[in-house]
């Protein structure tokens, strides 16, 4: 399933339940894993990260096949399915743990992310400036089991219906050609 031809990308776009639900539906994505990155302590727990005191962001580690989906495609979907203009906030979720970030694995990912953001700014794609940080990836700590595949296991929950379902509708509307077969 995962082999030497796959690549990893790490994005933080607010709640990792949302981000995982979006990316796991894309062609070429082999695996998605919610977790925590960008903080100061080892092996943080959800409760610690939610406090905002660890410095971690709720993030998603994506393993993908670059022959089927490119990093540029992932960036396009990432910026289209969250608000990259709100500092440390996505909707009602507020705090540094909900920041918008690209955690790059190498210089190519870093440059591509910076170029993509510059292009969005030049196009005035958003009314406000993009505040997404582009930071070198550090340790990634997988989230607890109850956070894995959260949307798919809890689709009828109010949070999923109000917050995640509209993101998936937007994904289906804008990127139908990038979605895996149902």
Catalytic residue list: 15
> What was the pLDDT predicted at 2?
53
* Crossing angle (nearest 10°) for helices 107-123 and 71-80: 40
Q: Let me know: does 34 contact 147? Beta carbons within 8 Å.
A: yes
* Cβ 57 vs Cβ 101: under 8 Å: yes
pLDDT digits (tens, 9 = 90+) for 60-112: 999 999 999 999 999 999 999 999 999 999 888 898 999 999 999 999 999 99
Q: What is the mean pLDDT of residues 109-126?
A: 97
As separate numbers, helices (DSSP H) first and strands (DSSP E) second, the chain gives: 7, 8
Task: Specify the pLDDT at position 92.
Answer: 82
How many other β-carbons are positioned within 10 Å of the β-carbon of residue 120?
17
At 148 the three-state DSSP class reads: coil
Convert the pLDDT of each residue in 17-65 to its tens digit.
999 999 999 999 999 999 999 999 999 999 999 888 999 999 999 999 9
In this predicted structure, what is the pLDDT of residue 1? 47
Q: Which CATH number fits domain 7-178: 3.90.550.10, 3.40.50.2300, 3.40.50.300, 3.30.1060.10?
A: 3.30.1060.10
pLDDT reported for residue 164: 94
Integer Cα distance of 172 and 89 in angstroms:
24
Non-local (6+) Cβ contacts of 82 within 8 A are 13, 14, 18, 19, 90, 100, 167
Indicate yes or no: pTM above 0.75.
yes
Q: What is the pLDDT of residues 130-147, one digit of tens each?
A: 999 999 999 999 999 999
């Amino acid at each position: 399933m995962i082999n030497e031809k796959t690549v990893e990308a790490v994005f933080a776009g607010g709640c990792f339940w949302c981000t995982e639900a979006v990316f796991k539906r894309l062609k070429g994505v082999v695996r998605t894993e919610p977790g925590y990155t960008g903080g100061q302590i080892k092996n943080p727990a959800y409760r610690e990260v939610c406090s905002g005191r660890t410095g971690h962001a709720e993030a998603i580690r994506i393993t993908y096949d670059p022959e089927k989906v490119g990093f540029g495609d992932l960036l396009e979907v990432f910026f289209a399915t969250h608000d990259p203009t709100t500092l440390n906030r996505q909707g009602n979720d507020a705090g540094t743990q909900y920041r918008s970030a690209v955690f790059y694995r190498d210089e190519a990912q870093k440059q591509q992310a910076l170029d993509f953001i510059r292009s969005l700014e030049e196009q005035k794609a958003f009314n406000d400036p993009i505040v997404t940080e582009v930071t070198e990836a550090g340790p990634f700590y997988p989230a607890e089991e109850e956070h894995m595949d959260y949307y798919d296991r809890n689709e009828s929950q109010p949070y999923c219906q109000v917050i995640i379902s509209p993101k998936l509708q937007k994904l289906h509307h804008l990127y139908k050609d990038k979605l895996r077969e149902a």
